[in-house]
Structures are given as C-alpha cells and as structure tokens.
Chain A
Amino acid sequence: AQRVTQPEKLLSVFKGAPVELKCNYSYSGSPELFWYVQYSRQRLQLLLRHISRESIKGFTADLNKGETSFHLKKPFAQEEDSAMYYCALATGGGNKLTFGTGTQLKVEL
C-alpha cells in the first residue's frame, strides 16, 4: 500500500536560514509527487510538483527514487514561508492523492 511519511510535525528555523522539509514515500508504481501548502486562514493550495521541476517562491524539491524521497528545500527562509506543508503522492486513477501528516514550518525573526 502507498504511504507518505513526513517525520517532523514542527520545524522551526530563523529567517535567512536554509529550510528542508522531509518527505519519504512508499509506492510500488511510478510515483508522482506534490507539495501542498496551507497558509494561516487560507485554503490548501498546490506549491509544486516533481514533474514540473520548477522553483516556486524559492522552493525546490527533487524526486530521489533510490531513497524514495521528495524533500522540499529553500536556501533562505522568509517569514512569509510560515505555514503547514503537506507532501502528497498521486496513486491510482482519477487523481487520487495520499497525503502525509504535514509539517508546520515556523520562521522566526
């Protein structure tokens, strides 16, 4: 069965410090992975997807099939990055997503 693991419930960093939010997955098929973000009092929204291989708001994520990981990284954290981040794995037909338990990122001044 598919599974997404985000080991950190809370990650606290100082402004300007590098950020890495960890995500590991378990899936027998060819994975397609996403990062979704939820800012305070806003709806959940897509941040980025591995297939796009692009940087969004300074964040990048590389799919490592050998380590079954899709960690989210940003070299210099900003206060506005404070949010809840969910890693998600697309499985089966019809766009079904399996979400991790989420990591709350807090960027301190």
Chain B
Amino acid sequence: DVKVTQSSRYLVKRTGEKVFLECVQDMDHENMFWYRQDPGLGLRLIYFSYDVKMKEKGDIPEGYSVSREKKERFSLILESASTNQTSMYLCASSSPASGQTYNEQFFGPGTRLTVL
C-alpha cells in the first residue's frame, strides 16, 4: 500500500513563528509537491522538486521555502508565519512522466495549519 505521510494533521502557530511541515513518501518517487488547498480556490502549487536538493517554484511560492535533503522527504518551511497562511497543506509525490504520459500524484492526508 503506497503511502505519503505528513507530520501533523493539525497545527496551531503564532504570527512570526517559523513553521516546518514534513512530508515523507515510501514509493521511491522522484517528484514531490506541496500545495495549499483553500475553499473556492482549489489546489495551488507552492513548490515542487524533481530530485534530491532540487526545487522549483510553483504558482504561489511567496512566503515559503522548501528543503529536500533525502529522496523520500520534502519539507515546507514558513519562515515567518502570517495569518494569510492559515490553510490546508497537501503534499504529493509521483514518479516521472514517461514519454507523453504523466503519472498519478499520490497525496498525503493534509496538515491543517492555523496561524493566530
């Protein structure tokens, strides 16, 4: 059974705190992704990574950074949390596209972050 796990289901932090969200996958996938999910806005890509120590900005990277030191682990970092970063954060992983065929993304259960 393939698995993507996220370190916390619920997290409450204060404005200005540094926040770490951890994601681990056991499928040996090269690709990993961080999204935030907001009602009415759907899923928006924050950052993604194609390989260890490699990262690329998604559509809404401002206020976030990431780290990928090991293939199975992808961390999302909020350097100084703000109230507008209150959201559900989803991690996903996938194997690389083969030719013209894109592969399924497998999602974690999500972390609901509240910034007070």
Interface residues on A, range: 20 to 34
In the assembled complex, the CB of B46 is this many whole angstroms from the nearest CB of chain A, namely 12
| Complex Cα spacing A98 to B43, Å | 8
Asked if B45 and A96 sit within 8 Å, CB to CB, the answer is yes
Kindly list chain A residues whose C-beta atoms are within 8 Å of the C-beta of B42.
6, 86, 99-102
In the assembled complex, the CB of B1 is this many whole angstroms from the nearest CB of chain A, namely 12
Q: Count of A-B contacts with CB under 8 A?
A: 59
Asked if A99 and B43 sit within 8 Å, CB to CB, the answer is yes
| Complex Cα spacing A99 to B31, Å | 17
Select the residue from A46, A93, A95 with max chain B CB neighbours within 10 A. Answer: A95
* A30 interfacial by beta-carbon distance below 8 Å: yes
Contact of B100 among A30, A46, A86, A95 (CB under 8 A): A30
| Complex Cα spacing A44 to B92, Å | 9
Asked if B103 and A95 sit within 8 Å, CB to CB, the answer is yes
Closest chain B residue, CB of each to CB of A9: B40
* A83 interfacial by beta-carbon distance below 8 Å: no
A1-39 to B contact mask, C-beta < 8 Å, 1/0: 000001001000000000000000000001010100000
What does DSSP make chain A's interface, helix, strand, loop or mixed? loop
Of B13-21, B68-76, B107-115, the one contacting chain A is B107-115
Asked if B97 and A93 sit within 8 Å, CB to CB, the answer is yes
A39-54 to B contact mask, C-beta < 8 Å, 1/0: 0000111100101000
Known: A43-B110, A45-B107, A101-B42. A94 touches B50 (CB 8 A): yes
| Complex Cα spacing A52 to B58, Å | 27
Kindly list chain B residues whose C-beta atoms are within 8 Å of the C-beta of A100.
42
Contact of A95 among B44, B94, B109, B110 (CB under 8 A): B94
Asked if B43 and A94 sit within 8 Å, CB to CB, the answer is no
Excluding A95-B94, A96-B58, 8 further A-B contacts by CB distance (< 8 Å) are A6-B42, A32-B102, A34-B104, A43-B109, A86-B42, A93-B97, A98-B45, A101-B41
